A and B are shown apart, each in its own frame.
Chain A
Amino acid sequence: MGIRWRGGTQFVVCLALTALALFPVAPLEAALDRFLVSSRALLAVAKPLWGMGRVHAADDELQSLWRHEAEESVSLEKWVRDQAAPQSVPLPGGITVHGEAVGRVAGKADRLMVRVEQTGLVRAGMPVTTGDHYLGLVREVWPRRGPEGPFEDVTVELITSSQARVQAVVFAQEDWQRDSTFVVGGLLDPEDFQLTEGREVLAVHHPSSHAVERGRVFVNESRGGARDLAWLVNGFQVGELTRAPEPDERTRFDLFGVVPGVDFESGLFQVLIHTGLPPEAQLEPVDEQGQRGRWLAVRRVPMIDAAPWREGFPLLAGSHDGLQNGAAIVSGVRLLGRVRRVTPYSADVVRPGDVGFSVPALALWLTTDAGEPTFVLGRLRSLGRDASGRLRLLWPAILPAPSDTPQRARLYTGSGDPGVPRGLCLGEAEIPPGPGPHILWVEPLPDEVVTSDLYAFQFEGDGQ
């Protein structure tokens, strides 16, 4: 047994491996993961025979803490679902279908994937909103069937897409500026408007007048136009009109943009699809409470990752047991981590303290002077922990928090990742005001180290 490589060959092999480690090739990494499944068998063979089933259920204090977090999570879930309905715009006539964001179409950030329970009602061209805000139009509808019955995955072309357009009108100086109509769609560079990088600015096309510089922009589509159903959401907000300090370099005309009131990049959780169909078109109402998917009891191996800078741990369960890549691992309603690198009989769990861990989140205010009870944070990305064990989460703050001073909040998961159900607790943090990005310092949860009573979320569709 032995490899008789010349020194030059050895050097080339080392260089090639180094290059492949630094510049990962996804298909190669996936193939290698499959090939190395056999090495994971070592983990199962050498697993310790002690300490596999430490049960915390008898701990009264922990149980009561879990119950409190669970109750809070349920009320949060209801509140979040209610946020899909418009607050200050009357609902247009016809059936509206509730949907939950489950991700983006692969490689297309401007196409939101929404899951709806009510089947047979949604079709392409229907407008989509969240709260008082216009989001875009339905592009495709994919009928699906899961263990809990049929459902539909709906692709929404967001107004941020370069192909998306919607007619709009400005409300300024306490009146509708009927002469100031234009078309909105696509994105402009926020730097042109002296806004921070990452802030979204929708492009304004063909303004009928350059007189109005500021104001609130609303959908104003005509019936029978190219976007035949978009008129259903006339009166929904597109954002705030803003004018760039410098004219367009190419055309030398004034450059207008619309700053949306929602975070299109990662803050879209619950939506409404306006069908325009009469109420009698709905055959039977569907119970939309709860989330699709189920929980699988899993056992962790009571050991840490061989890389001491990681917080993850291995699981003695894999795809054979129904575990999926990207699935949430919870204890009570606490998010302990997410599954990564699933093999048939084992899987790795990455934890929120691992650099790069990311999750969509929302804040439940713990102070009374914050106005609304919750605030959508969007996607948070972990930067690891500090010396005192506090979690450091990078928050882009595309929409700044609605307060002038830092406010304390409990962080919960939002929608947007199919593997992570909404309403799982992450911890408590001060939410800073003002435009981001910010770092959130999340206090560790009391009795955070849980080694048993673990559950993995089994979901429908593809994980991350």
Chain B
Amino acid sequence: MKKGNWFGALMLLVWAAWLNTLLLVAAGRVWPAGGAGLRFLPDATLVLLMALAVRVPRPQVWVVAGLLALVRIAYSADAPLAIFAGYAWVAFALNGLRRGFDVSGPMPRTLLAFAAGLLVAVWNQGVHWLRQQSASAWIDHDFWTLVRHSVPGAIVGALAVGLLGHALAALPGLGTLYRRPKIG
């Protein structure tokens, strides 16, 4: 692996950690008692993944997804395997789409970020509830309630990717993940 890529990977971890910290501390201040407002909280790690995954070379999408999944695991009590699986499906779908389409424009990446945000949020909650077998029969949420609760966060995340995607991908140190080295 090239030296620039190692640096890029390290910076990706650092930026993802700081973005998560910033967002989660701010959310903790605004909604200290939790509540419905938190539904608007996007998955910062996934936002960064979508901003980068439409730009990095296709083989690197899996690496970026894996690294960002590690960060997400550090910031959540969700099951690590559920997080890995969710991010893996996002990487798989993006890799497949990028074979035939250019998804780096603002509109496609916004739509993709919305779909990914919704998928990952529903998936993580679904896995958590399924693992609570003894209580699951009593949880009065059905699939569509789960989807409805996940939509606000997915919309905010998609807007962040659409409006700020380029800026996020251009954070110091991350350019080495997708820029070709200059010749001469």
Binding site for B on A (CB under 8 A): 1-5, 7, 10-11, 13-14, 17-18, 20-22, 24, 28-29, 32-33, 36, 39-43, 45-48, 51, 302-314, 340-341, 348, 350, 353-356, 381-385, 387, 389, 394, 437, 439, 444, 448-449, 451
B180 CB, min distance to chain A CBs, angstroms: 14
- Mark contacts of B130-160 with chain A using CB atoms, 8 A cut-off: 1 yes-contact digit, 0 otherwise: 1110110011100000000100010000000
- Do A302 and B28 contact each other (CB < 8 Å), given the known contacts A394-B138, A449-B33? yes
In the complex, A246→B73 CA distance in Å?
Answer: 55
Known: A14-B92, A309-B125. A24 touches B131 (CB 8 A): yes
Q: Which 5 A-B pairs have the closest CB atoms?
A: A2-B59, A17-B85, A46-B17, A356-B132, A303-B24
Taking CB atoms, residues of chain A closer than 8 Å to B58 are 2
Residues of A within 8 A of B75 (CB): 42-43, 305-306, 314
Is B60 in contact with A1, judged by CB distance below 8 angstroms? yes
Pick 30 A–B contacts, CB within 8 A, sort by A: A2-B58, A3-B60, A3-B62, A3-B63, A10-B92, A36-B70, A40-B74, A42-B17, A42-B74, A43-B17, A43-B75, A46-B20, A51-B29, A303-B21, A303-B25, A305-B75, A306-B72, A306-B75, A307-B78, A307-B125, A308-B27, A308-B41, A348-B77, A353-B34, A355-B135, A383-B138, A383-B140, A384-B139, A387-B36, A448-B33
User: Chain B, 1-45, contact with A by CB distance < 8 Å: what is the 0/1 string?
Assistant: 110011011000110111011001101110111111011010111
A2 to B82 CA separation, bound complex (whole angstroms): 23
Chain B residue at smallest Cβ distance from A37: B74
Q: A381–B9 Cα gap in the complex (Å)?
A: 41
Q: B21 contacts which chain A residues (CB < 8 A)?
A: 46-48, 303
CA distance A10 to B58 in the complex (A): 12
Q: Which residues of B contact A384 (CB under 8 A)?
A: 139
CA distance A33 to B80 in the complex (A): 8
Contact between chains at A306 and B20 (CB < 8 Å): yes
> Chain B: which residue is nearest A313 at the CB level?
B28
Q: Which of A2, A20, A47 contacts B85 (CB 8 A)?
A: A20
State the CA gap A3–B63 with chains docked (Å): 7
* Smallest CB separation, A99 vs chain B (Å): 27
* Majority secondary structure, B binding face: helix
The residue among B9, B34, B43, B79 with the most chain A CB atoms within 10 A of its own CB is B34
B24 lies within 8 A of A306 (CB): yes
Whole-angstrom distance from the CB of A6 to the nearest CB of chain B? Answer: 11
Residues of chain A within 8 A (CB-CB) of B164 are: none
Q: Which of B57, B79, B125 contacts A29 (CB 8 A)?
A: B79
Are the CB atoms of B88 and A17 closer together than 8 Å? yes
Question: CB-CB contacts of B43-63 with A at 8 A, as 1s and 0s?
Answer: 111000000000001111011
Minimum distance in angstroms from B184 CB to a CB of chain A: 24
Q: Which A residue sits closest to B87, measured CB to CB?
A: A17
List, in ascending order, chain A residues with CB within 8 A of B95's CB: 7, 10
Contacts of B70 in A (CB 8 A): 36, 39, 42
Closest chain B CB from A1 CB (angstroms): 4
Q: Are B77 and A36 in contact (CB under 8 A)?
A: no
User: Chain A residues with Cβ under 8 A from B20's Cβ?
Assistant: 46, 306
Query: A21 near B18 (CB under 8 angstroms)?
Result: no
| Assembled-state Cα–Cα distance A225/B55 (Å) | 81
Most buried by A among B29, B72, B77, B85: B77
Q: Cβ of B60: which chain A residues have Cβ within 8 Å of it?
A: 1-3
| Contact between chains at B59 and A356 (CB < 8 Å) | no
In the complex with contacts A5-B62, A304-B28, A308-B39, A17-B77 CB distance below 8 A: no
* B7–chain A nearest beta-carbon distance, Å: 11
Q: What is the chain A residue whose CB lies nearest that of B125?
A: A309
Q: For the complex, is B104 an interface residue (Cβ under 8 Å from A)?
A: no
Asked whether, in the complex, the Cβ of A45 is within 8 Å of the Cβ of B62, the reply is no
Measured CB to CB, the closest approach of chain B to A92, in angstroms, equals 38
Tell me the bound Cα distance from A312 to B78 in angstroms: 10
Contact of B131 among A17, A308, A356, A451 (CB under 8 A): A356
B71: interface (CB < 8 Å): yes
For A4, list chain B residues within 8 Å (CB). 59
For B71, the closest partner residue in chain A by CB is A42
Assembled-state Cα–Cα distance A28/B79 (Å): 12
Name the CB-closest residue of B to A354.
Answer: B77
